Amino acid sequence: MQNYSLADTYIKPLDPAEHELALETKNLKVFYGDHEAIHGASLQFERYKITALIGASGSGKSTFLRSLNRMNDLVDKARVTGEILYRGLDINSDKIDVYEMRRHIGMVFQRPNPFAKSIYDNITFAPRRFGEKNKKVLDEMVETSLKQAALWDQVKDDLNQSGLALSGGQQQRLCIARAIAMKPDILLLDEPASALDPISTSQVEDTLLALKDHYTIIIVTHNMQQAARISDYTSFFYSGTAIEFDETRKIFTRPQIQATEDYVSGHFG
């Protein structure tokens, strides 16, 4: 594989006067033991937009994404430095209540992972744990989040069926519904469609496009067409560095950096 300079980067700045920011990282580094997997990423994420993180396997996309709601806290030997600014707070600080923060910054994983419970219980599990007991409120929450995840019409007649009885695409939309039941501001998705067939993938993409009205979405994807189809901004990661960040149409038509150009045009390596 050709070696590209990690110093050669282009990160388009988003002027906060014109672009409301939902989240921003400043010099974010992630270490696994002595290995520095992310080399000081400073990226901005605009509110109510979809930002795609692309790059070859091992370039650090998932590591970066996981750090945005401190999932790396759960990874042995992982250490994160730098700032992750959300509503003026650095969520990487020791003073942050991580469980409370994750209500605002939710995550959906690569493989659909519904609980072995009913559809209703999948969605109400976390809200009940956070103290919501009112049946009417919970019912509304189930209906709203299933509607937002474009699953309501398919499951409304049997909310007691097991989440595991749904198709893969439906399970992933149930996981999205479960994540948005907590009304987060930001949804992090790590290759949410990679385990799905093309029809389910397209349904999940439609769901994400519809969710953009209410949520800021940051998505890791290996699928270049998917990034081009659904995202407003794209960041290209190479060897632990956010090499380029710009509007998606620019990344795919006129990238500033050779490594990005080679990656998006399939001439990488």
Ligand X SMILES: Nc1ncnc2c1ncn2[C@@H]1O[C@H](COP(=O)(O)OP(=O)(O)OP(=O)(O)O)[C@@H](O)[C@H]1O
Given 43, 50, 61, 228, the residue binding ligand X (CB under 6 A):
61
Choice between 37 and 166, CB closer to ligand X: 37
Give me the helix-helix angle, 119-129 and 168-181, nearest 10°: 20
Q: What's the closest the beta carbon of residue 35 comes to ligand X, in angstroms?
A: 6
Name the burial class of residue 116, with classes exposed (0-12), middle (13-18) and buried (19+) by CB atoms within 10 angstroms of its CB.
Answer: exposed
Q: Please state the length of the chain.
A: 269
Tokens of 126: 């976390």
The answer to whether 63 contacts ligand X (rule: CB under 6 A) is yes
The answer to whether 57 contacts ligand X (rule: CB under 6 A) is yes
Q: How remote is the C-alpha of 41 from its chain's centroid?
A: 16
The answer to whether 60 contacts ligand X (rule: CB under 6 A) is yes
Given 6, 16, 20, 58, the residue binding ligand X (CB under 6 A):
58
The answer to whether 37 contacts ligand X (rule: CB under 6 A) is yes
Choice between 15 and 34, CB closer to ligand X: 34
Give me the helix-helix angle, 135-148 and 168-181, nearest 10°: 130
Q: What's the closest the beta carbon of residue 32 comes to ligand X, in angstroms?
A: 3
* Rounded distance between C-alpha atoms, residue 252 and residue 265, angstroms: 8
Choice between 11 and 75, CB closer to ligand X: 75
Q: What's the closest the beta carbon of residue 69 comes to ligand X, in angstroms?
A: 15
Residue the block writes with tokens 């000081």: 40
Show Cβ contacts of residue 82 under 8 Å, excluding neighbours closer than 6 positions: 25, 26, 27, 28, 29, 40, 41, 92
Stretch that binds ligand X, among 21-29, 60-68, 94-102, 158-166 (CB under 6 A): 60-68
The answer to whether 75 contacts ligand X (rule: CB under 6 A) is yes
Choice between 61 and 70, CB closer to ligand X: 61
The answer to whether 59 contacts ligand X (rule: CB under 6 A) is yes
* Rounded distance between C-alpha atoms, residue 81 and residue 93, angstroms: 9
Q: What's the closest the beta carbon of residue 28 comes to ligand X, in angstroms?
A: 13
The residue among 221, 208, 224 whose CA lies nearest residue 264 is 224
The residue among 121, 208, 213, 138 whose CA lies nearest residue 173 is 208
Choice between 125 and 268, CB closer to ligand X: 268
Q: What's the closest the beta carbon of residue 67 comes to ligand X, in angstroms?
A: 10
Q: What's the closest the beta carbon of residue 239 comes to ligand X, in angstroms?
A: 9
Where does this chain bind ligand X (CB under 6 A)? 32, 37, 55, 57-63, 75
